[in-house]
């Protein structure tokens, strides 16, 4: 019997309610089913994120180390196996097997003790992320992938109501400026396959490559929408514009468009916070302010 982490049960209930509780209740049976179906044996302590259980396993037939990833299907995770299959282990974790009915995946095992966040230099970490993004976003998004253009226009539709809920005029002005920037690029959303959540805890070391991406929440769009996590993670105000310039250099992006899409990510986070009744985080407002006033030369 596999022990289900209490923290995972709590987050499933918080975010998914009855559906999350049913998922947690059914996990032991689901795990046993896939251990038998894919001829696996457990090989370590279960790990988890906010919504997924990740169980280290070994293939009984050949001793291949792997991980079994079990999670509820939602709009963000629906494209994960599609993206991983397209990347085919080149810059990202390799997909070994997938069950569409339950969204269960068998993935190659990477070194979970060596996240990119263990790299002491945040500049080095940002350069790794930029290199992975340049590689991953070179792939065209397949038909049927959720589209950044749809997400952008939906955000703009929600913005007027959200602005009315911001009492501070300075913060309200910042969020309105982010929406204005997004409006300038929303009709040209791009067609690359995006990871969407590539920060330094979603990059792991492996034996076959120095660093590989995990846990994509893929969509079709402009690579400029990918920069935000590396600006926000391990935040350093003085490093914001250096990170932005370094990433746009490596990805070969037009900086004005990349700035607009990055401000669109601030708007996305702001809308979630406002609609959930949370205050906007000061560091994110600081990033937006620095990008709005930053005028670096094109590479």
The active-site residue, picked from 97, 197, 245, 249, is 197
Q: Residues 275, 228: contact at Cβ < 8 Å?
A: no
**197 is a catalytic site residue:** yes
- Name the CA dihedral angle for 238, 240, 242, 244, rounded to a multiple of 10 degrees: -170
Half-sphere exposure of 281 (CA within 13 A, CB side): 12
Residue 203 near residue 115, CB atoms below 8 Å: yes
Compute the chain's Rg from CA coordinates: 20
Other Cβ atoms within 10 Å of 161 Cβ, number: 11
Q: How far apart are CA 36 and CA 203, in angstroms?
A: 30
Sign of the alpha-carbon torsion through 177, 180, 184, 187? positive
Which positions are catalytic? 197
């Amino acid at each position: 019997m596999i022990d289900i982490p209490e923290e995972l049960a709590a987050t499933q209930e918080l975010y998914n309610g009855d559906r999350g509780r049913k998922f947690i209740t059914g996990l032991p049976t689901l795990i046993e089913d896939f251990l038998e179906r894919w001829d696996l044996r457990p090989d370590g302590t279960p790990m988890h994120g906010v919504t997924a259980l990740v169980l280290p396993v070994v293939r009984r037939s050949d001793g291949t180390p792997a991980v079994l990833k079990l999670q509820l299907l939602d709009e963000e995770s629906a494209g994960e196996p599609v993206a991983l299959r397209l990347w085919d282990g080149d810059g990202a974790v390799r997909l070994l097997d997938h069950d569409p009915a339950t969204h269960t995946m068998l993935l190659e095992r990477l070194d979970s003790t060596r996240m990119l966040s263990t790299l002491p230099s945040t500049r080095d970490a940002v350069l790794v992320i930029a290199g992975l993004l340049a590689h991953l976003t070179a792939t065209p998004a397949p038909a049927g992938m959720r589209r950044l253009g749809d997400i952008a226009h939906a955000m703009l539709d929600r913005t007027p109501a959200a602005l009315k809920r911001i009492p501070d005029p300075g913060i309200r002005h910042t969020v309105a400026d982010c929406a204005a920037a997004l409006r300038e690029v929303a009709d040209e959303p791009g067609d690359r396959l995006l990871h969407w959540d590539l920060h330094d805890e979603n990059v792991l070391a492996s034996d076959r490559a120095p660093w590989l991406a995990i846990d994509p929440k893929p969509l079709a769009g402009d690579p400029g929408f990918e920069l935000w996590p590396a600006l926000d993670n391990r935040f350093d105000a003085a490093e914001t514009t250096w990170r932005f310039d370094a990433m746009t250099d490596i990805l070969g992006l037009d900086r004005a468009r990349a700035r607009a899409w990055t401000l669109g990510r601030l708007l996305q986070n702001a809308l979630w916070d406002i609609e959930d009744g949370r205050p906007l985080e000061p560091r994110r407002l600081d990033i937006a302010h620095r990008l709005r006033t930053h005028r670096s030369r094109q590479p």
